[in-house]
Amino acid sequence: MDAGKLILPNTKDYFSFYGLEEKFIIDPAELKQLFLEKSKLYHPDFYLADAESQNIAISTSAYNNLAYKTLGADISRATYLLSLKTGSEEKSIQLPQAFLMEMMELNEMIDEISDDSRYDIEDQILVLKKTALESIRQYASEEIWTSLQIEILKWRYLERLENRLNEG
């Protein structure tokens, strides 16, 4: 393939890179097709004769991979969309007191873990993550940014808790 001189694409954001509307609900098949098209277009092996074009292809290929990974998963897509729409994914938002109390109890249970209680804790975390994911999908779809931010923080907290449980 004689690709000629490569020009750096518009990489303002992942959505514009793929020509997609900035919204949470996207067609996974369309995203995959766009990813594969960009992968073929920016494959560095097609630009061996021109070092500048090959460097552009390498960086654009890496950008394409990161864009696909980010937009391909609900949590990362919601977090990314939140950062685009609000200018930040992290603000000083307080998690609900009831959630924090529940997390404190789970942390204490992990501190005193036994083989019997491990599965109960895993189940509780799984249920909480499922609930948080449903809320993330809803708030991201409806563009309710503050609520989305809270649910993403909950998700991250639950992931840390899950990691702590698995390390112990």
CATH, range 14-72: 1.10.287.110
At 1 the pLDDT is 44
At 111 the pLDDT is 87
* Intervals of the chain under pLDDT 50: 1-3
What global pTM score does this model have?
A: 0.85
At 48 the pLDDT is 87
Q: Where are the domains of the chain?
A: 14-72, 97-167
At 10 the pLDDT is 73
At 82 the pLDDT is 94
- Give the integer Cα–Cα distance in Å for 75 and 113: 29
At 4 the pLDDT is 58
Query: Measured in whole angstroms, how far is the alpha carbon of residue 61 from the centre of its chain?
Result: 19
* Under 8 Å between Cβ of 79 and 152: yes
DSSP state for residue 47 in the 8-state scheme: G
At 132 the pLDDT is 96
